[in-house]
Amino acid sequence: MKDKVTIHTLKKLRQIGQKICMVTAYDATFARVLDDAGADVILVGDSLGMVVQGHDSTLPVTLEQMIYHCRAVTRAAKRAHVVGDMPFMSYQVSAEEAVRNAGRLVAEGGVGSVKLEGGQEFCETVAKLVRASIPVMGHIGLTPQSVHKMGGYLVQGRDEETARRLLADAIALEQAGVYALVLEGVPLELAQQITDRLAIPTIGIGAGVHCSGQVLVCYDLLGMNPDFKPKFVKRYADLYGGIRGAAETFFREVRAEAFPDEDHSFKSKTIRLVASNPDVKPAEREEKPALAPVEGQGPIYGVPV
Ligand code: KIV
């Protein structure tokens, strides 16, 4: 196994100017593929509320659900550093609650760090988490948990005042102890200024090329949703088309009795089919077992011989 990525690896990657590759995953199957593909960081994002659960925001996601998904991902990710998102209201009420809840993501979910959204107002919380030995990734700019405050999923920091505030947030979070910072939905010029100003890595999503790394929601980059095509998403595959096409072929073959063919069926030399007995009429066959044991062979149901 290749060396496990840690928060220290990520700092080193930033120092040597090697871009950090981060992607979301919510289950073991995806985590395994993305880990094998070379992800440095796998984020169990609360975006699962939208792409897995079908909500129109991340707000309904609970801590229990996050722990469940984190556990699935950490079982499969052998190399990548796994980050667990702190869901809405798991850290906003008090720093003490934040430590308790983040501790559960680490202890029960198995993640190596947690991520939380927000700026200077959460510095005390970040510092407490770090003091409790829980590494924290920050997240500023377009912060989906603040959708109602922002008035929608809108690019942030386009004007001088909000740009200055975001830069101040970034600096304050670094001082509070975050080991990396997600910049979401901000102009690339601002992301560049923030990145240049910080020693920790920045990870961009809709924040341009100058960040220390990039993150995308796995279903977005894989083209799983034909109706979702925001400017910042690049589709690297058409899995919607691929999956739909494969499923349509399966259904067609089932209906045509082309599947399962001999290659995908089990055979037995010791079983005589009741159905091959010309004396048994179809109506009676329905009442009887489809397969009859050969004398002396014992029961055969469910067990291919
Ligand atoms: O929840 C999530 O997937 C995220 C990323 C988009 C950064 O926070």
Domain boundaries, the chain: 7-234, 239-265, 270-305
Using alpha carbons, select from 81, 90, 77, 8 the residue that is nearest to residue 46.
90
User: In angstroms, rounded to a whole number, what is the distance separating the alpha carbons of residues 157 and 109?
Assistant: 34
* pLDDT for residue 254: 98
Judged against a pLDDT cut of 80, whether residue 220 lies above it is answered with yes
6 vs 293, residue with greater confidence: 6
Q: Average pLDDT, stretch 97-115? A: 98
Judged against a pLDDT cut of 90, whether residue 59 lies above it is answered with yes
Please give the mean pLDDT across all residues of the chain: 93
For residues 38, 43, 47, 48, the Cα torsion angle rounded to the nearest 10 degrees is: 80
Q: Write the burial class of residue 235 (CB in 10 Å: 0-12 exposed, 13-18 middle, 19+ buried).
A: middle
* Residue in 217, 220, 232 to alter for ligand 1 test, most ligand atoms within 8 A of Cβ: 217
**The domain made up of 7-234 is a member of CATH 3.20.20.60:** yes
For 127-167, the pLDDT digits (tens) are 999 999 999 999 999 999 999 999 999 999 999 999 999 99
Q: Which atom of ligand 1 is nearest to the CA of 144?
A: 8
Judged against a pLDDT cut of 80, whether residue 301 lies above it is answered with no
For 61-102, the pLDDT digits (tens) are 999 999 999 999 999 999 999 999 999 999 999 999 999 999
Q: Which atom of ligand 1 is nearest to the CA of 45?
A: 1
pTM confidence score: 0.89
The string over 223-234, giving b where at least 16 C-beta atoms fall within 10 Å of a residue's C-beta and e elsewhere, is: bbbeeeeeebbe
Examine the residue annotation and report whether 161 is marked as an active-site residue of this protein.
no
Residue 213, both tokens: 């790394």
Which residue owns the Cα nearest ligand 1 atom 1? 45
Residue 180, both tokens: 């990396």
User: In angstroms, rounded to a whole number, what is the distance separating the alpha carbons of residues 297 and 305?
Assistant: 10
For 36-45, the pLDDT digits (tens) are 999 999 999 9
- Choice among 96, 97, 117, 184 that is catalytic: 184
